[in-house]
Structure 1
Amino acid sequence: MAIYRFKISFEDFDDVVREIDIKTNQTFEDLHRAIHRSTGYNADKSSSFYVSTDNWIKGDEISILPNQRKIDNGVTLMENAKLSNFIEDPHQKFYYIYNFERPFDFHVELIKIILENDPNIEYPFLVKSTGEAPKIIDQNTGGFAVTSAAAASSDFDFLNEMDFVPEDTEELEAMGGRGINAPEIDEESEEEEEKDEFADGDDFEEDFGSEKEDY
């Protein structure tokens, strides 16, 4: 049985390319799932191939997990569509949209027809992988990709609600010098010290009063 070799590239990321060998009697769903084994994306998303012109103008649609409108319009399902039934050119092209909720667009091009399959290979088979697939943006983060640091701080409470204790000893000393985290002053002790100062003044007059008179 003959083998198709497809080149799959992101429309907006030219440096990310996959080449996949697949049997002529396999389906577009087989190709769809093979693509996302190579990208790491979830294949269970509403997506479509479109028979394309050389200028990437979309024609007939072949879909997986279509919405009701497409079903009502009789869209062809990937699981029922053999690749060989849609190949009319040795360089046949397909425009491919993955995940209509947050789409990525791909160019899929037939680049080689191999007349015999290798019995030692399980098809579809990833022949070549160049570049890392772009990360999927998480809708739940308001349009920003979740990073490991952000995920780790999901219980973050803004420096423990401002009860901040610096880890650096020098920082502690500097903050103490500015009165931050300095020991509390006992007002009663201050009053006692003031009294003692006045008492010392009285003693001075008692002790040296007579000498002052001599001068």
Structure 2
Amino acid sequence: MAVFKFRVYFEEDESIYRDVVIKHTQTFLDLHHAILKAYEFDNKHQATFYRSNDNWQQGREITLEKYDKPYKAEPLLMAETTIGSEVRNTNQKFTYTYDFHKQWGFLIELINVAKDEDSRLDYPAVVRSEGIGPKQYGTKGLLGDRFADIEEKYDLVRGAEGFNEKDEEGEDYGFEDVSDDYQDED
């Protein structure tokens, strides 16, 4: 049974990627879940794959479900479409978009085809992770109201106090000079 290894790049920084191995008989829904798990995203939003060419231009759509939007061609459904049915060549590419409002983009490239499965793996599996992936909801979303409390307590929005700098004309930037306040206590 053929096993495909895909490199899933974060679109905004190709030094961030995850290598995912998947059986050719598994579906794009399985790949969808593997990518979300690899990047630590939740499974609450819309998503779609596109078969792609070497220039990352979008071709046939493979979608999580049929959405209320116009389609040039009837989309394939992730749950019904096997990976092997859409791989046309040894350097096949796909694009993947998750959360249509945030537009998380990933570039997927086939980097290896193996004939045999690894009995130690539960497919699909992430076999390599490079770089720190993006946070789906950002720092404020992760901390929620606690971040607002920290921001208020430490006044993170106001400039740093206790420092004074002046420009060439001697204009004060609004920071205090406290260097004279410190004395050696020898």
Query: Would you say the 8 A contact 1:47–1:66 is kept in 2?
Result: no
- Render the CA deviation track for 1:163-196: whole Å, top value 9, x for unaligned: xxxxxxxxxxxxxxxxxxxxxxxxxxxxxxxxxx
Q: Which has the higher strand share?
A: 2
Secondary structure, aligned partner of 2:141 = coil
Q: Distance in 2 between matches of 1:106 and 1:80?
A: 21
Q: Distance in 2 between matches of 1:153 and 1:16?
A: 27
Secondary structure, aligned partner of 1:16 = strand
Structure 2 residue identity aligned to 1:40: E
Query: Would you say the 8 A contact 2:9–2:17 is kept in 1?
Result: yes
Matched, 1:146 2:137: no
Q: Which residue of 2 aligns with 1:130?
A: 130
- Farther off after superposition, 27-36 or 59-68: 59-68
| RMSD (Å) for aligned C-alpha atoms | 2.5
Secondary structure, aligned partner of 1:109 = strand
Larger radius of gyration, structure 1 or 2?
1
Query: Would you say the 8 A contact 2:6–2:109 is kept in 1?
Result: yes
Structure 2 residue identity aligned to 1:146: G
Q: Structure 1 stretches of 5 or more lacking a match?
A: 139-143, 160-215
Q: Distance in 2 between matches of 1:55 and 1:101?
A: 24
User: What is the TM-score when the length of structure 2 is the normalising length?
Assistant: 0.73
Matched, 1:96 2:96: yes
Q: How many pairs align? A: 152
> How many angstroms does 1:105 deviate by?
1.0
- Render the CA deviation track for 1:106-146: whole Å, top value 9, x for unaligned: 110000000011223210011100111112246xxxxx833
Q: Which residue of 2 aligns with 1:27?
A: 27
> How many angstroms does 1:14 deviate by?
1.7
Distance change >3 Å, CA 152–CA 18, structure 1 → 2: same
Query: Would you say the 8 A contact 1:4–1:112 is kept in 2?
Result: yes
Q: Distance in 2 between matches of 1:89 and 1:147?
A: 41
Structure 2 residue identity aligned to 1:87: V
Structure 2 residue identity aligned to 1:29: L
User: What is the TM-score when the length of structure 1 is the normalising length?
Assistant: 0.64
- Render the CA deviation track for 1:72-98: whole Å, top value 9, x for unaligned: 963211011101111110110001111
Q: Distance in 2 between matches of 1:15 and 1:49?
A: 21
Structure 2 residue identity aligned to 1:103: Q
Q: Distance in 1 between matches of 2:110 and 2:129?
A: 16
Secondary structure, aligned partner of 1:49 = strand
Q: Distance in 1 between matches of 2:54 and 2:147?
A: 49
> How many angstroms does 1:48 deviate by?
0.9
Q: Which has the higher helix share?
A: 1
Q: Structure 2 stretches of 5 or more lacking a match?
A: 154-186
- Farther off after superposition, 64-73 or 96-105: 64-73
Identity of aligned residues (%): 30
Distance change >3 Å, CA 109–CA 73, structure 1 → 2: closer
